[in-house]
Amino acid sequence: MCKPVLDDVADCELYNKIKKVSEASTLEELQHSTEPIMDYLANAGCLRPLKSIGDRDRLVEDILMFQVVNRVRGPFERFRDGLKTLGILAKLQQHPEAFRSTFCNQPNQLTADILDDLFEINWSENGSNKRANENRVIAFWRDYLQDVEEEGSQRLGAILAFATGSDQVPPIGFHPQPSIAFHHDTEIPQRFPVANTCINCLRLPLYSTYSAFKSNMDFAIDNTHGFGKE
């Protein structure tokens, strides 16, 4: 029988709330951690009196079973019925490994080149002063990716998460495509890079040296913790 785990929950906000429930060490903490999700528990059929800390693990299991399995059971069953139409389901059950790459996401390890290719650059007009400044910053960006690659794919994933909220490329890609924009406003100077994860856009200041680019990028990434899965 399928036994989902916390990492199977894609909703970051719900992930954080379930995590707090799972980490409760006293009955009081357990009751407090469930208060923000009382409506959710009622809709999921998981609402019950909590009489001891021993109720915690069963509650978490029930929440995960609902969120990961039961909530999508109807669409999944229809999908399975569709696979039966041309005999695909039978072949899939006979040869699961042959179909694994088709049905299961196996993310590629991030590299500097993959990350560089992933971002579209919002260039200014070719030949303009703005474009010259942007060319310099993008050269810094590419040097930075190469340096970070030496630290491992996890660090590259942190850069991607800073810009998009995801530390790996989703199975169906990003929508919208990640992009790089530039901060040209000299009246409102910007020291650190900023990101809008709603539109997957990384905005870079116009640094004049690589050392400034690297130190400020490192600071921004190291001090921006979010999305619940660090």
Catalytic machinery residues: 198
The one-character DSSP state at 120 is E
- Contacts of residue 208, Cβ cutoff 8 Å, sequence gap at least 6: 136
Side chain identity at 92, as an amino acid letter? L
Tell me if 6 sits within 8 A of 22, measured CB to CB.
Answer: yes
The one-character DSSP state at 67 is I
Q: What tokens appear for 56 in the block?
A: 């915690």
d(CA 22, CA 6): 9
Side chain identity at 148, as an amino acid letter? V
- The arrangement of strands across the sheet holding 194-196 comes to 120-121, 179-183, 201-205, 194-196
